[in-house]
């Protein structure tokens, strides 16, 4: 059985001056998914690829998992889909998200630039012209290549989901943006590796809450979406480093 690994394209928050926004490539059996998609995604991929010694570009990305619609997680979708459509001339690729996340992706985000409401043919354009949309409610799963994907709503300021992604017999749990929610951590705890966000403020998880978790959870937990002044040296949970590959 092959390896299931993640590549850290970015580990920072929306305000970071040091890192790209939190984004991963998931890799198994020669297939790759993006977990969120900030701009400029091709530059972000290229730099991570240089860091790990494996060329990375959109032509080898097979789909996207989308956690929520904050710009630091979705600002690359327009460039991504235009690049796939006009430059690579490939069919729309899978985009997996919860129905509440998908609800305003077109009308509240992409329509203004990709459909332009006043164009005569605007009504003929839709999300489905650019993405193979796969709606993922809680309690169900979606298969994309070798990846089985499940989701769980988090406690954030807009609809947001965590993901459990299984491939090669291993499971990655990804908290996405969320306040501290013990029930969500229980859901993620079934995973072999948990990538959890930490940051300041109400819609995020304070580091102290995660540091107080049982050692067996902390040992398989990695941190992402941390602030620029996060204290790596004193963290009792390993922070992910941008531009690295981690085997799950």
Residues in touch with Zn ion (CB under 5 A):
70, 177
Residue 160 contacts residue 187 (beta carbons within 8 Å): no
CB of 198 to Zn ion, least distance (A): 13
Distance of CA 64 to the CA centre of its chain: 8
Nearer CB in complex with Zn ion: 92/203: 203
Nearer CB in complex with Zn ion: 5/175: 175
Nearer CB in complex with Zn ion: 68/218: 68
Nearer CB in complex with Zn ion: 199/242: 199
Nearer CB in complex with Zn ion: 137/203: 203
CB of 14 to Zn ion, least distance (A): 7
CB of 195 to Zn ion, least distance (A): 15
- Bridge partners (DSSP) of residue 8 are 24
* DSSP assignment string, the chain: ---EEEEEEE-B-TT-SSS-BSEEEEEETTEEEEES--SSHHHHHHHHHHHHTS---GGG---EE-----HHHHTTHHHHHHIIIIIS-PPPEEEEE-HHHHTTTIIIIIIIIII-TTSTTGGG--GGGTEEEEE--TT--EEETTEEEEEEE--SSS--EEEEEEETTEEEEE--S----HHHHHHHTTSSEEEEE--SSTTS--HHHHHTS-HHHHHTEEEES--TT--TTT-SSEEP-TT-EEE-
Nearer CB in complex with Zn ion: 58/69: 69
Residues 237 and 232: their CA atoms lie apart, in Å, by 9
Nearer CB in complex with Zn ion: 179/189: 179
CB of 72 to Zn ion, least distance (A): 7
């Amino acid at each position: 059985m092959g390896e299931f690994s993640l590549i850290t394209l970015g580990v920072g928050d929306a305000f970071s001056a040091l890192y790209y926004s939190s984004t991963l490539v998931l890799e198994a059996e020669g297939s790759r998914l993006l977990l969120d998609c900030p701009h400029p995604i091709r530059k972000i991929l290229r730099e991570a690829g240089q860091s790990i010694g494996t060329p990375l570009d959109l032509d080898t990305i097979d789909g996207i998992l989308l956690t929520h619609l904050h710009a630091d997680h979705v600002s690359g979708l327009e460039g991504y889909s235009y690049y796939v459509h006009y430059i690579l001339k490939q069919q729309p690729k899978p985009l997996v998200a919860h129905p509440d996340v998908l609800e305003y992706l077109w009308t509240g985000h992409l329509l203004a630039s990709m459909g332009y409401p006043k164009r005569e043919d605007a009504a003929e354009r839709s999300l489905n012209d650019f993405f193979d949309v796969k709606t993922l409610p809680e309690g169900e799963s979606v298969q994309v290549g070798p990846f089985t994907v499940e989701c769980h709503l988090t406690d954030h300021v807009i609809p947001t989901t965590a993901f459990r992604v299984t491939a090669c017999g291993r499971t990655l749990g990804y908290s996405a943006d969320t306040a501290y929610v013990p029930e969500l951590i229980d859901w993620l705890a079934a995973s072999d590796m948990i990538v959890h966000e930490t940051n300041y403020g109400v819609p995020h998880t304070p580091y102290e809450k995660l540091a107080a978790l049982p050692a067996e959870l902390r040992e398989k937990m990695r941190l992402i979406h941390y602030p620029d002044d996060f204290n790596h040296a004193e963290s009792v949970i390993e922070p992910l480093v941008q531009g690295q590959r981690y085997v799950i």
